[in-house]
Amino acid sequence: MCITALVSLAGAAAAQSSAPADRTKAEGDNADGDDAGGDKAGGEVIVVTGEAPAPVEPVTYDLSPDVIRKLPGSGNDAIKSLQTMPSVGRVPFGLGGLILRGTSPRDSNVFLDGVRVPLLYHFGGLASFYPSALLAAMSLQPGGYSARYGRGDGGIVELDSRSARSDRWRVGSEVSMMDASLQADGPSGRWGAWSVAMRRSYIDALLPLISTGSADLTAAPRYYDGQLRFDARPWRNAQLTAMLFGSADDMAAQYGVDKDRSFALNTQFARFALRFRQRWGQTQLQVLPWIGVDRYHLASSFQTMTSADDPAGLRARVTHDYRHGSWAIGTDVERGDFAVSSVSIGDEDMTEIARDGSYTNAALWLEGMIELAGERFALKPGLRAEHYGRPRPSSSIRDSR
């Protein structure tokens, strides 16, 4: 059992020093600030008042399409642009994760519409798993994030997909040196809309043309991803969204003098989620159940490793806004069944290790935001109680000697 409490106090003192002055003098004002002198000269007195917004959240990098277009190295890929942000490092060999504040990639979490996903990028970091054309917003929080999230020591990446357009159908495509994609969205009747996207790389068709012959790429690196989303408004102030998305990578090669050695890699994951939102005045309810499939397979001439995980989760929260702030309470539950196996091949023997089991993690969180001193200060307390379910594995070791 883990209980975490977070209280952040943000003040506007620094912002006030750079805020616009309460009074700006016109040319008619005299040097010592005598308004009467300005009025006698026929001048105009302009009074400017305003409040600087209080920063109530930790450091967060929100990337808009305009910012992404100006970032070097993004390649018109919104999610790849995260690699250029402060406190972010790249995983060696492009294995698909992010290093936030020096922590391991597994200590940071990535969420798409509240659903946890295992990887951000395809093999080699060539492209992200989700098309930029279907993203509405993206944010990176290297640390000190909200009590709504947990199970990590690094940071979080939040991806929000946009709703499908309901006025008319639109179709778009993109062709690059590495892949081709197709996106479409449009209405479905009077109360719903669809969006769909597909992408496939053709590196496997180009690499054999420039191969040096030192390795025979029987299945050159190739990746796929696809997304399907349906948005509906069943009744007033209610929204129902169904989402299905996934990604897959394949690569295989033979190498050596006589091409007697081989290497193969295959990764896959898929998610299905159903999100419901309902608003009553200043109160909003959101319920998000989801299920997924994760697969990983690595094989060489000396060893084979296979990993399978079937996670499922439920995120729910109630948020209420009031005059001087807001409060929210919610739950975050995730469970799964996993199986891991490894086979080591020697000259005269073979050793196999297998492990499988299940896990359940559950959390209850509460946070609020209170504006003080006429919105000059904001107090944001947070509390999260987490139960880490210890996996119940069964293991076996077999030696062929």
Are 332 and 353 a contacting pair, CB within 8 Å?
Answer: no
**Cα–Cα distance for residue pair 217/203, rounded to 1 Å:** 11
Task: Locate 32 and state its tokens.
Answer: 């010592």
Q: Domain span at residue 251?
A: 2-12+53-399
Are 124 and 94 a contacting pair, CB within 8 Å?
Answer: yes
Helix/strand/coil for 116: strand
Q: Tell me which residue has tokens 């062709």.
A: 175
pLDDT higher than 50, residue 19? no
**Cα–Cα distance for residue pair 352/341, rounded to 1 Å:** 7
pLDDT higher than 70, residue 42? no
Are 365 and 382 a contacting pair, CB within 8 Å?
Answer: yes
Lowest mean pLDDT: which of 80-84, 212-216, 225-229, 306-310?
A: 212-216
* Residue 367 pLDDT: 94
33 inside domain: no
Where residue 237 falls among pLDDT bands split at 50, 70, 90?
very high
For residues 279-289, one letter each, b for 16 or more C-beta atoms within 10 angstroms of the residue's C-beta and e for the rest, the string is: eeeeebebbbb
Where residue 272 falls among pLDDT bands split at 50, 70, 90?
very high
Where residue 29 falls among pLDDT bands split at 50, 70, 90?
very low
pLDDT (tens digit, 9 = 90+) per residue, 198-224? 999 887 777 766 655 555 555 567 899
Where residue 255 falls among pLDDT bands split at 50, 70, 90?
confident
**Cα–Cα distance for residue pair 223/200, rounded to 1 Å:** 6
20 inside domain: no
Where residue 331 falls among pLDDT bands split at 50, 70, 90?
very high
Q: Which of 70, 71, 64 is CA-nearest to residue 86?
A: 71
* Residue 307 pLDDT: 92
pLDDT higher than 70, residue 59? no
**Cα–Cα distance for residue pair 25/89, rounded to 1 Å:** 49
Are 246 and 271 a contacting pair, CB within 8 Å?
Answer: yes
Are 204 and 178 a contacting pair, CB within 8 Å?
Answer: no
Domain count along the chain: 1
Average pLDDT of span 59-70: 62
**Cα–Cα distance for residue pair 65/79, rounded to 1 Å:** 11
Task: Locate 94 and state its tokens.
Answer: 């492009």
Cα separations (Å) of 381 from 305, 321, 367? 44, 15, 6
Where residue 22 falls among pLDDT bands split at 50, 70, 90?
very low
pTM over 0.75: yes
260 inside domain: yes
More confident residue, 263 or 10: 263
44 inside domain: no
pLDDT (tens digit, 9 = 90+) per residue, 290-312? 999 999 998 887 888 999 999 99
Q: What is the DSSP string of 164-186?
A: PPSSS-EEEEEE-SSEEEEEEEE
pLDDT (tens digit, 9 = 90+) per residue, 86-139? 777 766 655 666 777 777 777 788 899 999 998 888 877 778 888 888 888 888
Are 90 and 100 a contacting pair, CB within 8 Å?
Answer: no
**Cα–Cα distance for residue pair 309/292, rounded to 1 Å:** 8
* Residue 212 pLDDT: 56
43 inside domain: no
3-state helix, strand, coil in the chain (%, to 5): 10, 55, 35
320 inside domain: yes
* Residue 206 pLDDT: 73
Radius of gyration over every alpha carbon of the chain, rounded to an integer in angstroms: 27
308 inside domain: yes
* Residue 32 pLDDT: 46
30 inside domain: no
Where residue 247 falls among pLDDT bands split at 50, 70, 90?
very high
Average pLDDT of span 177-187: 90
Where residue 72 falls among pLDDT bands split at 50, 70, 90?
low
The number of beta carbons lying within 10 Å of the beta carbon of residue 5 is 11
